[in-house]
Structure formats: C-alpha cells, structure tokens
Structure 1
C-alpha cells in the first residue's frame, strides 16, 4: 500500500535505485522475491515507491544484488530520511490520493509549468480568490476549506523559498471571470502585476481576441521537472469530471511539453502588458 502521505522524492529516488541495481545484477523480480520470502508484487511495489522502505528488506535485496559495501552504505544511510512523511502529511485529511502524489513531486520540482483554460492557475491565486472559488465550486464545510487554504499557502511559500521556477500561461478570460467580487479580483490582479518583479516567476496571459493556439481546449495542465535523473518529468492533466491523470510516459509528457512550448511562443511575451482592462504583468 502507498504511504498515506505519498512518497517523497527521496523515497522515489531510492526505490528507482533499487530497480536499477536489480536490473544491473540480472536478477528477476521472481528471484528477488525469493530472497525476501515474498511475492514478486512486493518487490515491484518497493521499486515503484508504493510501499515503505523497510531496512531489513533493503539490506536483503542489496546482498542479493551483490552490491558493494561502498555502494550500499549511502543507500542504507538514506533510508531514514526517505521514510519520513512529507511536509504535506499534516494536511492529508484534505487531500485526494492524486494530490499527495503530485505535491510529493512538486515539493522537489525545479520547474513547474502550468496552464489553466479558464481561471488563474492555482499556484498564483490569492487566499481570497481561492476561498471564493472553493465556496462557489465545493460543498466542503468551512474548516475543510480553511485547511485547504493553509496547504495552498504552504505550497506557494515553499516553491518561492527554494527558488523553483514557476511559469504560468492562462487566457485573459480568467481575469474577466468575477471570482469573489471586484475587491477580490482587484487584489488578484495586483498580485499578478507584482509578479513582474519576482525573479523565478513567469506569467503569460493570452488576449481575448487571440487566435486558437496549441493549448486551446486543453484542460488544466501542469508539467513538473525534478532535478534527479531517477525521476522523470510528470504531466498532470485535470480532465472534466474531477478526474486527474498523472502521466509519466516520456513520449506523452514530451507531447504536452511541445504543445505548451508552442502556445507560450505564440502568446504575447511575458514582459508585454496584460490585455486592456486586466492590468499588466510578466517577467521574462
């Protein structure tokens, strides 16, 4: 079973390393399972970071793969940190399983790119904007909404604190949709205008009268890049009906990246003023 708070990137890296070591040693899943006295599915879950990393099991697997002490020592030393719950663990009561997985990757991402076809992207929203959106779209009680807002604020804070790059693309229609009323929208626009002065933030807004582009009609999309070779890029697609697809197949992720690249290239430069009536922002 996947840890309740979702695996951290450190956990994913170690799990991937175990798979690489098994394959390098030419040991099958079945043979690794025999060494553990377990089912092959157990080894597969370990290698997919779908279960906790047990020190005894890891030691048995490293011995079976004939891993040298010099190579095994940092793996065993990293187990304690990799097994710790992610910082988001305390908010797991208001998170869906897919959110735990996404935030687990987002928490170590060096680059986050996001597209929303109708609203201001989540990581750029003010607390008042997000609260108004929750009241309009969610049936959750106020305490749950408050917890959700705390989680979003912490995500935004941590993203900025570690200097991760956030690149957002959305249509000007998002700023014409009145979420929470004039005061809330004025604050939200002011935050987007201030983005022009933030080093790691890029905002592009597609004008209302702009022709169709490669992201036209595409549901909310997020591309996450983690600076660890063991962790491939992820595409997160929020499809209609509250379904979320987390895509890790390289060709599919590349296809979305190409589409987003083309849409950003076609859109006004980040340093350009916002369309009339919405203010101006952007940072190259």
Structure 2
C-alpha cells in the first residue's frame, strides 16, 4: 500500500537501506521477489518508499540477503517509526500528490534554496499574500483555502523551529506585482525587510535594471538538502497546472545548483539595502 501522505525521511532511509543491502548481497530483484512470493515490482516499490514497510516482508528480505542480526535488528526496530504518517498528514486534503512528497523531504531538510521568477517564494509569503494570490489565480479558490494557508504557516513555523536554513532568490519585479492590494504588499515587503534580522534566512532580490542571470527564464525551483547520506539532494521544478517535477538524479540536481549559485553570485549580496521601488535582501 502506498503511504497516504507521502513517505517520511525515516521511511525513505530504511527503504534505501533495503536496496543497498540487496545489491551488496548480489541478489537480483527477481530473486528477492521469489523469496517474497511477489512480483519484482513489489520489491522495487519497497525500495523506492512507494509502499508501507511490512514487517514480515522486510524480515523475509533481510533473511534473503543474509543480513547479520546485529544489522537487521535496528531496521526491524525502526519500522514502526518509519510507517508513522508525517506531521503533514492532517493537511493531505490541501495538497497535490507531488506536494506531499516534497513536504516529506522539506520537513527534514537542513537547507532549502528557492527561486521564483515572478512572485515572492512560497516559504516567505504572508498569509494575506498567499490567500490573495490563490484567489487571483484559482477559478474557485474557496474550498480548502483556509487549510492551505494553515499548512503553509505550519511549514514556515517548523522550518524556523528546526533552525533549517532558507535561502531565497527573487526578482524585484515580484514586489512590483500587486497581490491583494497596497496593504498586503506593504506587509509582505516588511517581512522581506526584516529578513536581515532572522538568523537562518537569506533573501536576495535581483533589481529590475540588472542583466539576465543563469536562472532567467526558469520556472520556480526548490533545492532541498537533507543531512542524511541515504537521501540525496532533490530539485523541484514547478510547472503549470499545479504540477512539478521532482528530480533526484545527481547530475541534473548539480546543474540546477550551479545555475542557482551563478544567479545568487550575480545578485546584490545579502544585507544590501532594498532597491528603490521594491526588492531587498536579508542575511543568513
């Protein structure tokens, strides 16, 4: 069965360890499936954290891979915690399926880097700004709007509570695009201006008169880093129609990181004064 609200990092770690143990033992997917009495796709889904970690199946696989008891026991002990729903489970009705996966990784990330080509990035938005934006962009935004705003506020709170670093890059045009009216925009600008006083937050804004940079023309991008060796960095590239590509292939993630590094290097340094008429920067 597929996790109803996206796998937690604990689930991902154990799933990845199962793959590593199988490959270390030289056992093929087909052979592992035979041991389970299942299809190879079942083993693949277990290793990709696409299904719950069933204790019986995991024990059978560990025996198939000849994993010593001292190594197998911590895995079996960790199953209960790995199968628990993430904190975001209660808001699953307010999320797209891809968002559940992203928030599952974001919830344990030590660093979140984000870029938006036209608007204030999501994790920096005030409730009023986000509500006004959804009303403007969605034909019928009322159903679930309050739940969505609650979820965003909880994500922001947990990110700050954990001391995770958030590094955001946006164009000054985002502060010239009026979302919700002058009062909403003034509040949103204040949040960005106060970023300089927040320990784990970096905000860089590219002034209107600056030349193109490596992120010019790219859609919203998020880079997530979890300080766990089994979980590689992820790049999330948002597309139209409430969808996104979640990229884990290291070469592709590195390419996006290099692009974002270049764009940040070309932008005013963190701590620079707000450009006249909008934009600004904070420091970590």
Shorter-chain TM-score bucket reads: over 0.9
Using the size of structure 2 for normalisation, the TM-score is: 0.98
1:85 is matched with which residue? Answer: 85
Q: In structure 1, the residue corresponding to 2:144 is in which secondary structure?
A: helix
CA contact (8 A) 1:222 1:237 kept: yes
Unaligned 5+ segments in structure 1 are none
2:27 is matched with which residue? Answer: 27
Seen in structure 2, the aligned counterparts of structure 1 residues 279 and 260 have a Cα distance that, compared at 3 Å, is closer
Seen in structure 2, the aligned counterparts of structure 1 residues 147 and 247 have a Cα distance that, compared at 3 Å, is same
Inter-partner Cα distance in structure 1 for 2:162 and 2:266: 30
Inter-partner Cα distance in structure 1 for 2:243 and 2:110: 26
2:228 is matched with which residue? Answer: 228
Seen in structure 2, the aligned counterparts of structure 1 residues 167 and 84 have a Cα distance that, compared at 3 Å, is same
Backbone CA RMSD of aligned residues: 1.1
1:49 is matched with which residue? Answer: 49
CA contact (8 A) 2:11 2:82 kept: yes
1:273 is matched with which residue? Answer: 273
Unaligned 5+ segments in structure 2 are none
1:198 is matched with which residue? Answer: 198
2:255 is matched with which residue? Answer: 255
Inter-partner Cα distance in structure 2 for 1:220 and 1:254: 16
Structure 1 runs, 4 residues or longer, greater than 4 Å off: none
Could you tell me how far 1:176 is from its partner in structure 2? 0.5
2:180 is matched with which residue? Answer: 180
Could you tell me how far 1:4 is from its partner in structure 2? 1.5
CA contact (8 A) 2:121 2:168 kept: yes
Could you tell me how far 1:141 is from its partner in structure 2? 4.3
CA contact (8 A) 1:194 1:281 kept: no
Inter-partner Cα distance in structure 1 for 2:92 and 2:197: 33
Using the size of structure 1 for normalisation, the TM-score is: 0.98
Could you tell me how far 1:142 is from its partner in structure 2? 2.4
CA contact (8 A) 1:219 1:240 kept: no
Q: In structure 2, the residue corresponding to 1:277 is in which secondary structure?
A: coil
